[in-house]
């Protein structure tokens, strides 16, 4: 009996290792190019790209490290590949330092005559935490993590992600989603399309979008959110400034603590709520008055969607 169990165990191991050997090797890409700089005091990052993704990480110290990664037809390559140098001739590439400003600029010289081998560039940038940035992008994702400064982002396409940061963020986008997590400061988001998700913000938030949903959670501060299309959903653990939500077409839902005092101005195709302590006017398409004795103003208005006010215990 023991021998038969040993045989089964041995056969199982053989099958397992045979299966592992058939798995494709996990590719660990090395940067095609690395450049390093040092800053004195607070610096600036100036980024201009067309189609390249950029991820920026703030760390302690005064060193800047820029890593460029290259893919041809979806496959990672390194500096030993002679094909890359030929394909890069179709780009203007500048990674340099002037004063206390780091420049990262990559643009195609022409949109004509696409090479058979498609070249894809991406960048990882390590910078001092205390830095401001200016992004100008015609495509490709942008990620910012752990920066304390003023960040200006303008893009015609590609997602934008900001995490664990403080200061100011101004984002203007023609398309692509915007997400922000754990931020302390002021945020101004303007987008022609794409969803907006904010989770964890202390400060002032302003949103203007022509399309796409807006999802807000754990916001402490003022909110002014406007959308021409798409729904707005906000979960507010506390309210310490006036709040305004407006939509031309789409529902608006806000979840607030049931014990908080608010002045309410709710107007839409249909207004839904169940109050416990309310004094004011209630109609099918309008609720105006004071909840729990009144407080900061909560204004929710939709031209063609429903208004929903929900309460958390």
**125 occurs within a structural domain:** no
**Residue 30 pLDDT greater than 90, yes or no:** no
**232 occurs within a structural domain:** yes
Domain of residue 270, residue span: 177-313
Q: Which residue(s) pair with 234 in the sheet? A: 216, 254
Length of the chain: 313
**117 occurs within a structural domain:** no
**Residue 38 pLDDT greater than 70, yes or no:** yes
**244 occurs within a structural domain:** yes
**Residue 220 pLDDT greater than 90, yes or no:** no
Average pLDDT value over all residues in the chain:
87
Query: pLDDT of 246-296, one tens digit each?
Result: 998 899 999 999 999 999 999 999 999 988 789 999 999 999 999 999 999
**289 occurs within a structural domain:** yes
Domain count for the chain: 1
Dihedral of CA atoms 138, 143, 146, 147 in degrees, nearest 10, equals 0
**308 occurs within a structural domain:** yes
> Contact, 133 vs 57, CB < 8 A?
no
Would you call 83 helix, strand, or coil by DSSP?
A: helix
State both tokens at 275.
């109050």
Query: pLDDT of 182-209, one tens digit each?
Result: 999 999 999 998 899 999 999 999 999 9
92, 102, 245 from 36: Cα distances, Å: 19, 10, 45
State both tokens at 171.
């984002």
State both tokens at 147.
């920066």
Q: What is the C-alpha separation between 226 and 245, in angstroms, rounded?
A: 6
Q: What is the pLDDT of residue 51?
A: 85
- Any idea which of 3-7, 99-103, 137-141 has the lowest mean pLDDT? 3-7
**183 occurs within a structural domain:** yes
Query: pLDDT of 62-108, one tens digit each?
Result: 999 999 999 988 888 877 778 888 888 888 999 999 999 999 999 88
Q: CA torsion sign, 2 to 8 to 11 to 17?
A: negative
Q: Output the pTM of the full model.
A: 0.85
**Reported confidence tier of residue 114, pLDDT bands at 50, 70, 90:** very low
Q: What is the pLDDT of residue 271?
A: 95
**Residue 24 pLDDT greater than 70, yes or no:** no
**260 occurs within a structural domain:** yes
């Amino acid at each position: 009996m023991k021998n038969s169990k040993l045989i089964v165990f041995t056969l199982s191991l053989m099958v397992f290792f045979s299966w592992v050997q058939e798995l494709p090797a996990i590719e660990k890409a090395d940067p095609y190019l690395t450049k390093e700089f040092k800053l004195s005091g607070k610096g600036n990052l100036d980024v201009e790209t067309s189609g390249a993704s950029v991820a920026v990480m703030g760390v302690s110290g005064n060193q800047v490290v820029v890593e460029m990664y290259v893919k041809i037809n979806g496959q990672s390559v390194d500096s030993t590949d002679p094909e890359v140098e030929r394909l890069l001739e179709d780009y203007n590439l500048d990674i340099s330092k002037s004063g206390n400003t780091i420049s990262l600029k990559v643009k195609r010289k022409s949109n004509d005559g696409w090479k058979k081998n498609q070249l894809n560039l991406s960048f990882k940038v390590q910078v001092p935490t205390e830095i401001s940035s200016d992004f100008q992008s015609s495509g490709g994702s942008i990620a910012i993590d752990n920066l304390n400064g003023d960040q200006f982002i303008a893009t015609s396409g590609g997602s934008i992600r900001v995490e664990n940061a403080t200061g100011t963020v101004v984002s203007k986008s023609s398309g692509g989603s915007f997400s922000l997590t754990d931020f302390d400061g002021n945020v101004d988001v303007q987008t022609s399309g794409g969803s907006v998700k904010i989770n964890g913000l202390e400060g002032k938030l302003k949103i203007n979008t022509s399309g796409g949903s807006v999802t807000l959670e754990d916001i402490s501060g003022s909110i002014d959110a406007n959308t021409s299309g798409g729904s707005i959903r906000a979960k507010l653990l506390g309210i310490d400034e006036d709040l305004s939500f407006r939509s031309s077409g789409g529902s608006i839902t806000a979840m607030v603590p049931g014990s908080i005092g608010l002045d309410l101005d709710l107007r839409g195709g249909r207004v839904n709520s169940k109050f416990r302590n309310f004094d004011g006017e209630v109609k099918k398409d309008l609720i105006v008055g004071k909840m729990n004795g009144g407080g900061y103003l909560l204004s929710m208005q939709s031209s063609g969607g429903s208004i929903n006010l929900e309460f958390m215990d």
